[in-house]
Amino acid sequence: MKMFLGIFATLVIQFTAPVAFAQSTDAEQKAILVTGASTGIGRNIAETLAAEGHFVYAGARKQADIDALSAINNIQGIRLDVTVQEEIDAAVEAVTKEGRGLYGLVNNAGVSVAGPMIEMTEDDMQFQMDVNLFGPYRVTKAFAPLIIESKGRITTTGSIAGVLSGFFSGPYGMSKHAMEAFTDALSAEMQRFDVQVSVVQPGNFNSQISNSRIERLLEKGETGEGSLYRDDIEAMRNDPRDRSRFKDPDDVAAAVLHAMFDERPKQRYLVVPVEEEARITMFVGMLKLMQMNDEQQFSYSRDELVEILDEAIGAAAARQPPPGE
């Protein structure tokens, strides 16, 4: 079981054909804000949306990245640290003054903290949640009036870590589990405004997310000395930052494009480069359901579970929200 729960972070894999999503035929240029757009998945999303003819406000923290993004056709770099409310407020003011409105928001900015839960410092935990959890909360809250006005779309970059969590992946997994609940609640609340809400759940793609994790570890001088997990921490210090062995996140950007513009967007987009990652994610998701069902007061038989599964398959195909939303 430990292999199943931790494998998503360590898979060395060969890649399959890209996922195909039907694209919108709406030629009208829409304005979309993408946070964390300087590198990796966020940069790919921003460039893909811009190449489709839409105008992208690309959030970044460093001036060099803002300038580089602004040099791309249909992209305007904008200073936006999702942990700084003053920068978020300034971004809202800047976008409002531009007069284009805002049709879409892509909450993509994220970091990764890894380590043992029983030794994790509160500072590290706060850093993880400040970006991955409170970041989308702050940005969505700030830009909600513009999105509601345009009856637009909100998409958040989650992860298969929103289902999987294992050895040393607790903080990151917690933050991405939270995005699942965030999406469900926000979707239910925004329905009355005709705003569609989705979460994209990538697997292992080529990105820069390992950099912040390892750099933070090295900056703190963490060697594992005195830890119950010393050998594991030393091994983590030597983890390769280069994720070029993984596929570029074109499929993730395609999923965001579908979530933004398709007439029938999905609430969840599982986007993984190989079948093995999909199978593990589905297995663990189903295992959790079976653990909840195990010897509870109203446990369901296999036949009853299959009946519930059939109902869920039908609801998913019809793009129906879960009961109670």
Q: In this predicted model, what pLDDT tens digit does every residue of 291-316 receive, in sequence order?
A: 999 999 999 999 999 999 999 999 99
297: phi > 0 → left, psi -120 to 50 → alpha, else beta; which? alpha
State residue 322's pLDDT score. Answer: 67
Q: What number of other Cβ atoms are within 10 A of residue 115's Cβ?
A: 23
Structural domains of the chain sorted by starting position, each given as residue range(s) with its CATH number in brackets: 2-11+27-274 (3.40.50.720)
Q: Are 57 and 32 in contact (CB under 8 A)?
A: yes
| 101-115 mean pLDDT | 96
Instruction: Determine whether 172 is an active site residue.
Output: yes
Q: Are 142 and 89 in contact (CB under 8 A)?
A: yes
pLDDT bucket at 208, cuts 50 / 70 / 90? low
Burial class (CB in 10 A: 0-12, 13-18, 19+), 229: middle
pLDDT bucket at 206, cuts 50 / 70 / 90? confident
User: What pTM does this model have?
Assistant: 0.89
Distance of CA 117 to the CA centre of its chain: 22
- In this predicted structure, the answer to whether residue 33 has a pLDDT above a threshold of 70 is yes
Q: Which one of the listed residues 57, 103, 172, 269 is annotated catalytic?
A: 172
